[in-house]
Structure 1
Amino acid sequence: MSELYQHRARKRFGQNFLHDAGVIHRILRAIHARSGEHVVEIGPGQGALTEGLLGSGAKLDVIELDKDLLPLLQMRFGIDPNFTLNAGDALKFDFNSLVADGNKLRVVGNLPYNISTPLIFHLLEHAAIIEDMHFMLQKEVVERLAATPGGGDWGRLSIMVQYHCRVEHLFNVGPGAFNPPPKVESAIVRLVPHAVLPHPAKDHRLLERVVREAFNQRRKTLRNTLKQLLDAQAIEAAGVDGSLRPEQLDLAAFVRLADQLALQTAPE
């Protein structure tokens, strides 16, 4: 087993291996995987969480990009009939391919900081087949995910993730829990896709467009930042004050703006 721990963390993969037993136990307790569930672990690394997830009796698919780790993971866990190793990039992975048994997926991962945001957006495209997600992320990313309107953390990431999911910032994790220790604080977040969207947009792609435009120049008023999409009259028709800055609007207001844009762009 010592051979496992000789693998050096790769900077290009953003690897920081979790080794603190107390933190590992706390994460596993938060996930609370059960027999009969289908768990997907992204970036298992050296298997710090993998062992506990398999111990729950759940069916476990792991997705690992680093080819050097594949034989080590297979050697350690391959004998377990509930374990399946998928070699590849989670950003390009088709998660629909894993739901043949009809069970929704429970997704888990200690995500490299450099791919965390695009990976979350990729997973949101599969929200209908996901029960929940538990991720270790950079603490400032979790703060943005869980932000509320009015503060500097409220932005595109907060709005689009909260459109699809309930967000819970569970707890923080210090650098010492990893090898090598990262230069930033980390945190565990739980994302639970809504069974019914609280503020459904007519077209969520238009919502993404409005939000992106609004926060491109977040210090400007909506009247200025959205002028390429909606004029002052259209903003007012959506029940929104055009003199506000984007960070002052809640999710429901952005959906109203997107629906107003949908009305404008609908064919006659």
Structure 2
Amino acid sequence: MSARPKKSFGQHFLHEKRYIERIVSAISPRPEDQVIEIGPGEGALTLPLLAAAGKMTAIELDTDLIPDLTARAAAVGSLQIIHADVLKVDFTALARERGVEKWRVAGNLPYYISSPILFHCVEHAAAIADMHFMLQKEVVDRMAAEPGSKVYGRLSVMLQLVCQVEPLFTVPPGAFRPPPKVDSAVVRMRPLPTEQLPKASPDRLHAVVKAAFAQRRKTLGNALKQVMDTQAILAADVDPKARAEDLAPADFVRLALIETT
């Protein structure tokens, strides 16, 4: 019996087989992998992933879905379900506790909370090998956007500084129950090696990027007034007359590294 999707959890259950197969193929789980799925729902992705990996972990907030998924998974492999809000799950601590070297994270993320989940996962990037997420296509476009694009912004910069972001394919509304009002897309994210990560303080970097994009039409000289002056911008080899959307992610790192008084 199918569960009734709950609006409060932003549930849209994937049901179309060919898209399920494409996602599982993109992830390509192996028996030695440590797969963790965010929001397994009715198990459309969970069960084929479990069949390939043999064992996996899932994080589910909706208690009504857990008994049926547990029962169906028993015949497929070893599934451990954590009843929790994913934003409160410490992936790093969980990996240490379970003796996991790196998680492979997957999920059909609720659209209303997708950005917080992305940033939460990125905070634990050192404990993650890769991520495959289904998201609103508009969000995936922003994640992968290049400088100069109208959708290039804070999300693009902050994610691209720590991950390689690769859009894979689009999924139409009809592949879900109930159909969302927008197209979805699958994206692959691979955390960058430690040596390629920004050397700037995360808090300082966040402050600079947030201020730069807060008012996109302003030049950096005006937009960054509260965090640095024109001389500091010039010292980072950045044009104060440029706008945030003109800068590459590495430019924001240079700005964040400049000492200000």
TM > 0.5 fold call: yes
Alignment of 1:90-109 (within 5 A): 90-99=86-95, 100-109=98-107
Amino acid at match of 2:61: L
CA distance in 2 between counterparts of 1:15 and 1:192 reads 26
The Cα of 1:81 is off from its aligned counterpart by: 5.2
Q: Are 2:183 and 1:189 aligned?
A: no
Q: TM-score, normalised by structure 1?
A: 0.94
CA offsets per residue over residues 200-254 of structure 1, 9 Å max, x none? 2321221111000001001100000001111111111110000011000001111
The secondary structure found in structure 2 opposite 1:114 is helix
Q: TM-score, normalised by structure 2?
A: 0.96
CA distance in 2 between counterparts of 1:50 and 1:102 reads 19
Confirm or deny: 8 A CA contact 2:105 2:130 kept in the other structure.
yes
The Cα of 1:9 is off from its aligned counterpart by: 0.4
The Cα of 1:91 is off from its aligned counterpart by: 1.1
Of 66, 69, 75, the residue aligned with 1:73 is 69
Amino acid at match of 1:187: A
Q: Are 2:42 and 1:46 aligned?
A: yes
In structure 2, the residue matched to 1:13 is 9
Q: Are 2:260 and 1:264 aligned?
A: yes
Q: Note the residue ranges of structure 2 that are not aligned, 5 or more in a row.
A: none
Q: Are 2:219 and 1:238 aligned?
A: no
The secondary structure found in structure 1 opposite 2:260 is helix
Alpha carbons of 1:160 and 1:172: their partners in 2 closer, same or farther (altered >3 Å)? same
Alpha carbons of 1:78 and 1:40: their partners in 2 closer, same or farther (altered >3 Å)? same
Identity of aligned residues (%): 53
CA offsets per residue over residues 76-98 of structure 1, 9 Å max, x none? 11455521011111111121243
Q: Note the residue ranges of structure 1 that are not aligned, 5 or more in a row.
A: none
Aligned residues: 259
CA offsets per residue over residues 101-151 of structure 1, 9 Å max, x none? 232000000000011000111111100000000000000000000000011
CA distance in 2 between counterparts of 1:211 and 1:202 reads 12
In structure 2, the residue matched to 1:33 is 29
Q: What is the root-mean-square deviation of aligned Cα atoms in Å?
A: 1.2
The Cα of 1:71 is off from its aligned counterpart by: 0.9
Confirm or deny: 8 A CA contact 2:38 2:107 kept in the other structure.
yes
CA distance in 2 between counterparts of 1:118 and 1:61 reads 21
Alpha carbons of 1:113 and 1:50: their partners in 2 closer, same or farther (altered >3 Å)? same
